[in-house]
Every structure is written in C-alpha cells, then in structure tokens.
Amino acid sequence: MTDLRAGALEALAQQTIELPSWAFGNSGTRFKVFGQPGVARDPFEKLEDAAQVHAHTGVAPRVSLHIPWDRVEDYGTLAKHAADLGLRLGAINSNLFQDDDYRLGSLTHPDAAVRRKAIAHHAECVDVMRATGSTDLKLWLPDGTNYAGQDDLRARQDRLAESLQEIYALLDPGMRLLVEYKFFEPYFYATDIPDWGTSLLHCLALGEQAQVVLDTGHHAPGTNIEFIVMQLLRAGRLGAFDFNSRNYADDDLIVGSADPFQLFRIMNEIVQNGALLDAGVNFMLDQCHNIEPKIPGQIRSVMNVQEATAKALLVDRDALREAQTAGDVLGANAVLMDAYGTDVRPLLAELREGRGLDADPYAAYARSGYQERIARERVGGRQAGWGA
Ligand code: PSV
Ligand code: MN
Ligand code: MN
C-alpha cells in the first residue's frame, strides 16, 4: 500500500488537465443563456480565469481555444498573455456548426464550394496553431441528415474522406488532427461521424498524425466507454478526451458528477494501459457551466478528474492480475472496488500541500476575493460562443 501510495503521488504530480476557454464565458441551453456577473468578456479574460484554476489546483496549465469564438487580431499576443499567466494554449477547436452554408453539411456537403470553405477554415486554425504553438487541431463534425434518403450515406463518407485528407495535408510535423465523434445532434437520422469506429477508420486512412477524441457525453446511454478507451489505446489512436458528464444526452455537466464510478473505470483503463503520462492522451474538459459559477465549476471538475485518477492509481495491479488469472470473479472485482472505495482526499491534499498549494482549491478560490473583484470590474460579459 505504501508503494502504491508513493507511486500514485508521483504520477499525480505529473498529471495535467486542459481547460476549455468556453467554460469561462456565459452559456446556456437553447432555451436560455443566464448571464453571470464578472464573466470573461474576451479570450484574454478567459485565460485570466483559467489561470485561477491552475493557480489553485496546480494541474491545469493549458487552455483549448474555439475558433471563431476566440478569434483575435494577434494570436502571438494571446499566446504571450497565456505565458505571462503561466499557461499554454492547447487544442484549437474548429467550428463547422454555426454557418448558414453548412445547413446540408460542411466537409460532406454535396457542393464542392462549401467543402472548400470548411477546409479553408481549418487552414485558418492551423495558422492559429503556428502562431500559438498549439499542436492539436480538434475537429468535431456536426454533419448529418434528418431523413432517410435525404442524401447518399456512402457518398457523404467519400466526400468526408477527401476533405479530411486535405485538412491532414495542412498539418506541420508534430501537429495532430484529433477527430471527435458523436452519435446524434444537430441532425437526428444519420450522423457522418457517429462513433469511435468511423472516427478510427478515417484516422487510420489519414495516417499517424490523426487520432480519435473521445467526448464522454457522445455515446448512447449504457455504452461501455471504458471498453472504447481500451480499444483505442490498443490501436494507438486515443488522442484526447473531452471530459464531461451526462444524465440524458450531451449534457456537458461537470465531469464525474453524474457517474463518478464511470470516470473511475475510464481512468482505470488509462492507468492499466500505461496511458496516464507520456502516451499522447490529452485530458481535456469540454463543459459549460450554465447555472453554477464558472471558475469554481472548473476547479471542481479538475478535482473530480484527480480523484478518479488517484483511485485508479491505487488499484493493486498485482492482486488484480492474480485474481483474474485464478478466475476469481469476485476477488478481482473486489480489488477494483477497494480502490474505488478509498477516500483519496487526504492523498490529494498531501499532493497540493507539497506544492505549496491549499489542500482545498475550491475553498482557497472562494477566499481569494477574485470572484468579487471580477464581478466589480467586468461589465458586459459575453456568451461562450453562440454570440461570437
Ligand atoms: C460537440 O457537441 C462538442 O462536444 C464539440 O467538442 C464542440 O467543439 C463542443 O461540443 C463545443 O462545446
Ligand atoms: Mn466535445
Ligand atoms: Mn459535445
């Protein structure tokens, strides 16, 4: 147990979690956006808020951007602002879902001119990556159809493959194309990248620099997500997570809130397969805080990922293998459940205090006065993206 604990502390000290810029802007559902006092008004302020999360947790040094939501005149200045705050800019997310031209699709659109426009948007994103030092281009394809017969499903895949090839060709060495999948929404009959298999097939056709993004909210209820994690790791193609939590659909709630046990099972596969550190998996959050305060929402999210990771690191792998080999069904399950049942908060408190941080980042932020200051000083905070 002492060895496991020491090993866990060492791994936790190296773990990093990437924050989404859009978590710091006003957001809502399609019914209502609730504005919050002090919310970030531009990408620079979003970074300042993200820096608070990093300052109190010590493990969130990168921020993903969404283009055009975070479009600025000079990305070098934005990257410098990030560096001055002790941060780096992370994945650059493209946006294929907010343009009238994309009503019938973007990279799959029957009209080559629309496809060219969608590809050109990725060229802009790659330029942003060059200016910011980002290495991950993240693509979520919203394309799909609403009615059977609306379009030729196979022709759409062929057009998609060609478009993706053109985007892939834009990458510099060292850059990755991260391809996200989602089984439904905004179209409801057929989605053009609905699942990990379709995403993986396209990535395999593209080459080594293409990898799959697993957004935990993008599966049908009951899907065994940790199995997908294992399978993608086995294929060497798990590029990143978009972590969030869901009860019904793509709810984008705080990761680990609806089903902390699922998050533990996912992190268990990560640890079991040696993918926590240095395996190229970018652990990103993709969440919106519609009714709860945003900076504390992100702090809670980071803490939830840390707790699930700590528990996964405490699994006695030798005892587990022994029980599995012996066919001891309940024994093997008990090894996992013992780790899951461990209160890891003292371990994480030790980790934080060892770095000169408060044992409780959430309480430390509340005491800091930052929230009151931004509420006083910032007027007219913007929507996360839909208004950009
Ligand atoms: C789509 O639902 C998605 O998960 C993609 O990652 C988008 O870029 C993101 O949400 C926007 O919040
Ligand atoms: Mn996502
Ligand atoms: Mn989503």
Atom index in ligand 1 nearest the CA of residue 140 equals 5
Is the distance from CB of 210 to CB of 167 less than 8 angstroms? no
Ligand nearest to the CA of 91: 1
Ligand nearest to the CA of 241: 2
Ligand 1 centre to CA of 335 (Å) is: 35
Residues 6 or more apart whose CB falls under 8 angstroms from that of 218 comprise 180, 181, 182, 183, 242, 250
Ligand 1 centre to CA of 317 (Å) is: 35
Percent of the residues in the chain that have a pLDDT greater than 90, as a whole number: 95
Pocket test for ligand 1, best of 93, 179, 244 (most atoms within 8 A of CB): 93
Residues 6 or more apart whose CB falls under 8 angstroms from that of 222 comprise none
Pocket test for ligand 1, best of 21, 122, 244, 286 (most atoms within 8 A of CB): 286
Read off the CATH number of the domain in which 130 is found: 3.20.20.150
Task: Kindly report, residue by residue over 325-345, the tens digit of the pLDDT.
Answer: 999 999 999 999 999 999 999
Atom index in ligand 1 nearest the CA of residue 213 equals 6
Is the distance from CB of 250 to CB of 259 less than 8 angstroms? no
Nearest CA residue ID for atom 2, ligand 1: 250
Domain presence at residue 388: no
Domain presence at residue 325: yes
* Structure confidence at residue 29 as a pLDDT band (50, 70, 90): confident
Domain presence at residue 226: yes
The pLDDT score that the predictor gives to residue 30 is: 86
Domain that holds residue 234: 2-377
* Structure confidence at residue 385 as a pLDDT band (50, 70, 90): low
d(CA 136, CA 177) in angstroms, rounded, equals 6
Residue type, 96: L
Ligand 3 centre to CA of 299 (Å) is: 20
Domain presence at residue 202: yes
Atom index in ligand 1 nearest the CA of residue 244 equals 4
Instruction: Kindly tell me if the per-residue pLDDT of 137 is higher than 90.
Output: yes
Domain presence at residue 287: yes
Ligand 1 centre to CA of 29 (Å) is: 13
Domain presence at residue 278: yes
The pLDDT score that the predictor gives to residue 388 is: 39
Ligand 2 centre to CA of 133 (Å) is: 21
Ligand 2 centre to CA of 242 (Å) is: 5
Residues 6 or more apart whose CB falls under 8 angstroms from that of 123 comprise 170
Phi, psi of 64, rounded to the nearest 5 degrees: -80, 145
d(CA 100, CA 143) in angstroms, rounded, equals 13
Please spell the DSSP secondary structure of 8-21, one letter per residue: HHHHHHH---EEEG
Nearest CA residue ID for atom 7, ligand 1: 140
Other CB atoms closer than 10 Å to residue 69's CB: what's the count?
A: 21
Instruction: Report the number of distinct structural domains present in the chain.
Output: 1
Closest by CA position to 201, among listed 189, 190, 210: 210
Nearest CA residue ID for atom 5, ligand 1: 140
d(CA 74, CA 37) in angstroms, rounded, equals 27
Closest by CA position to 18, among listed 90, 67, 84: 90
- DSSP β-bridge partners for residue 238: 212
Is the distance from CB of 232 to CB of 226 less than 8 angstroms? no
Pocket test for ligand 1, best of 180, 213, 243, 251 (most atoms within 8 A of CB): 180
| DSSP classification of residue 235 | T
Ligand 2 centre to CA of 3 (Å) is: 36
- At residue 70, the 3 state secondary structure works out as coil
Token couple for 268: 């268990």
Ligand 1 centre to CA of 243 (Å) is: 11
Nearest CA residue ID for atom 9, ligand 1: 286
Helix (H) or strand (E) holding 305: helix 294-313
Q: Where does ligand 1 bind, in terms of residues with CB under 6 Å?
A: 22, 93, 140, 180, 182, 215, 242, 250, 286
Closest by CA position to 138, among listed 230, 21, 225, 4: 21
Is the distance from CB of 107 to CB of 119 less than 8 angstroms? yes
Closest by CA position to 282, among listed 371, 177, 384, 169: 177
Instruction: Kindly tell me if the per-residue pLDDT of 381 is higher than 70.
Output: no
Q: What is the dihedral of CA 370, 373, 377, 380, to 10 degrees?
A: 60
Domain presence at residue 24: yes
Pocket test for ligand 1, best of 242, 243, 288 (most atoms within 8 A of CB): 242
Task: Kindly report, residue by residue over 172-227, the tens digit of the pLDDT.
Answer: 999 999 999 999 999 999 999 999 999 999 999 999 999 999 999 999 999 999 99
Phi, psi of 312, rounded to the nearest 5 degrees: -65, -35
Ligand 3 centre to CA of 183 (Å) is: 10
E strands in the chain: 18-20, 62-66, 88-93, 136-140, 144-145, 176-180, 190-191, 210-215, 238-243, 282-285
Nearest CA residue ID for atom 1, ligand 1: 140
pTM of the predicted structure, to 2 decimals = 0.97
* Structure confidence at residue 64 as a pLDDT band (50, 70, 90): very high
- DSSP β-bridge partners for residue 92: 65, 137
Token couple for 220: 């049908």
d(CA 348, CA 17) in angstroms, rounded, equals 15
